[in-house]
Chain A
């Protein structure tokens, strides 16, 4: 199943949430929509899900306008999510799958396997309210994919999950991708997208900033950055010759180089002033590409801000 957005726009009052956005999600890829909070990721996803209608532009599924059947073939996990607290896990799974037109019998056959993988099997007949928040998120993930959808849309999937569970779910996403499913996910944590996606679309203030496969995006910017970790005050670095821009990631600096800059000279002058723990030539991170392209500081360079997108 492939997805195409054709010049969609959405405004709320006088605030432009999505501005003339076009993108194509090919079948069988892991596609990341990245951007800071408030960039328009959730609004875009809601328009794909037909929860809000675009002011103009079209959403096309397999080249056609989505119809009722489309709903059954999609698994959608919104950013703000919840479950019925008073229902048991089994009841929730049955209800959600049946709402997708998926047969209850198949759910009963498959659910144990998923619960087992997510380490929730012992809670099968317990009520949702007995689960911890992280467990509830895992259950929400199960209900998103239990009906075997062809297109899986995950809005800020990883927020609030611990690293172990993030790895668990990443593994499942890769499996689903190998099985030919199309996966669209949004995140404001750029490193996650960097590690997981085949293809990314970066948006800022509702506009597309970068769009392409991970490899394309990286090669467009070349290995023109230095990742630098030092002990001591690194404030002087920005004044060195050949450095266009410094991005401070707190634990390390990313130095963007001017064309033809002498990296040996830079290393020497840094080593004279402070003790160097790491000095590596790297491809630029998505984050610094983002700053380059969007021409402004995103609100949050990679923390897990829980502020909802508009």
Chain B
């Protein structure tokens, strides 16, 4: 058996045999799903108790009373017995009574601090003329309630403005005439994938890549450091060439990566077959079954892993302890998470100059290009290797492959010297000397 295979086999077995590998396979998707679904699930939860309000009304035309009445349409339960909002009191003050208003406001603020009241609304005198002279005082950020208040108050003020104008129409007919529209969005194929579906799919694909690259890349690094620290390296080097050792490690752990992703794919396929049981947007098919996305996911996963694990092998060969290595790990990690950090900017404009440049720079290309592919590929009617997103992704992939080749060359030069250097961490000029040596 070739010595490369002996190393490969050991590195693979060391990971796959571990209990944490099996646990990771099943726990990671569960955690990921929880992370994605939990906020949505919690947001959909109904409020448990009625929210209490007060209103200070200086409009002189009963805007406050109108507001209280408008809120009566909201109920917590389906039987419409428990009201969502309870307007405790409306203070109708005289228009010019500013000191009285300040006193009432003070006492209401105290109630809010004591949590006896959740909101109070101050309706200024300007509202009688149709101006938006009002504000809400609260310590809560319940955006659902706040947007309801906005809606109801807009309607009330519109009615007020209508009364003042000469248009002889009822408020209801005006509202129905000015009904806003929901713009449906179709892509070039004439179909529509909701933004959130695309966004979460991109996060899942890029997240898997990121997890594999950093997780297994660091395993490569740790494995090198372990062999340096335990001084086993010298015995190994008397049996295998440094190059065989390095490649055996990178490939062996890479095979473990692919094993893990393959198991996830299988699990995903099973879950997909049972998708009717859970409510998933049907347009997800368009992304998970897009051959362009699948092909580039595998290509970028493999090439990205090779690039970063080689980089991590380089770091492992020049440091002595994991603590020393942490200084290098941080900048490498930032390169990888860049697409997450720039996430929203990229997805809003996947063809922006920044996104294109980063998807052609080898160390950000795998994750950045993947993100763009997920966003763009499903909308394209016809793929060509010479134009469009597929061509761009192919170019980006080739750049990564070239970088991998360069990286393996560079690392193998540094690796063979670095692994036998204990003690002082080498300086940059020393490392450059090793490369030439």
- How many angstroms from the CA of A101 to the CA of B226 in the assembled complex? 23
Shortest Cβ distance from residue A9 to the other chain B in the assembled complex, whole angstroms: 17
- Output the residue of A71, A82, A83, A95 with the most chain B CB within 10 A: A82
Residue in chain B with minimal CB distance to A147: B239
Residue in chain A with minimal CB distance to B6: A98
Binding site for B on A (CB under 8 A): 49, 51-52, 71-72, 74, 76-78, 80-87, 95-96, 98-101, 143
Say whether A76 contacts B10, CB under 8 Å: no
For this complex, into which size category does the number of interface residues on chain B fall? 20 to 34
The interface-forming segment of B56-64, B67-75, B230-238, B289-297 is B230-238
Residue in chain B with minimal CB distance to A72: B239
Interface residues of B in 104-151 (CB under 8 A from A): none
- Output the residue of A74, A77, A86, A98 with the most chain B CB within 10 A: A98
- List 20 interface pairs A-B (beta carbons < 8 Å), by A numbering: A51-B234, A51-B238, A71-B238, A72-B239, A76-B234, A77-B235, A78-B231, A78-B234, A78-B238, A81-B231, A81-B232, A81-B234, A82-B229, A82-B232, A84-B226, A96-B239, A98-B1, A99-B239, A100-B239, A101-B1
| Residue in B7, B14, B235, B420 whose CB lies within 8 Å of A76 | B235
- How many angstroms from the CA of A96 to the CA of B234 in the assembled complex? 12
Shortest Cβ distance from residue A284 to the other chain B in the assembled complex, whole angstroms: 35
Interface residues of B in 196-237 (CB under 8 A from A): 226, 229-232, 234-237
Question: Known contacts A87-B14, A95-B6; can you find 9 more A-B pairs with CB under 8 A?
Answer: A51-B237, A51-B238, A76-B238, A78-B234, A78-B238, A83-B230, A98-B6, A101-B1, A101-B3
- How many angstroms from the CA of A96 to the CA of B237 in the assembled complex? 11
Say whether B235 contacts A81, CB under 8 Å: yes
| Residue in A86, A99, A143 whose CB lies within 8 Å of B3 | A99
Say whether B231 contacts A49, CB under 8 Å: no
Q: Is B240 an interface residue (CB 8 A)?
A: yes
| A-B contacts, CB under 8 A, total | 55
Interface residues of B in 390-416 (CB under 8 A from A): none
Main secondary structure of the interface of A (DSSP, over half): loop
- Chain A residue numbers with a CB within 8 Å of B420 are 51-52
Are A82 and B10 also in contact (CB < 8 A) when A49-B238, A51-B238, A51-B420 are? Answer: no
- Output the residue of A51, A83, A85, A87 with the most chain B CB within 10 A: A51
- How many angstroms from the CA of A86 to the CA of B420 in the assembled complex? 22
- Output the residue of B1, B232, B236 with the most chain A CB within 10 A: B232
Residue in chain A with minimal CB distance to B223: A84
Contact with A along B261-276 (1 / 0, CB 8 A): 0000000000000000
Shortest Cβ distance from residue B221 to the other chain A in the assembled complex, whole angstroms: 16
| Residue in A52, A78, A101 whose CB lies within 8 Å of B235 | A78
- How many angstroms from the CA of A33 to the CA of B237 in the assembled complex? 22
Say whether A83 contacts B232, CB under 8 Å: yes
- How many angstroms from the CA of A85 to the CA of B223 in the assembled complex? 12
- How many angstroms from the CA of A69 to the CA of B336 in the assembled complex? 42
Shortest Cβ distance from residue A191 to the other chain B in the assembled complex, whole angstroms: 26
- How many angstroms from the CA of A297 to the CA of B422 in the assembled complex? 29
- Chain B residue numbers with a CB within 8 Å of A101 are 1, 3
- How many angstroms from the CA of A82 to the CA of B236 in the assembled complex? 11
Residue in chain A with minimal CB distance to B228: A82
Residue in chain B with minimal CB distance to A76: B238
Are A82 and B239 also in contact (CB < 8 A) when A51-B420, A95-B6, A98-B6 are? Answer: no
Are A99 and B237 also in contact (CB < 8 A) when A51-B420, A81-B232 are? Answer: no
Say whether B10 contacts A95, CB under 8 Å: yes
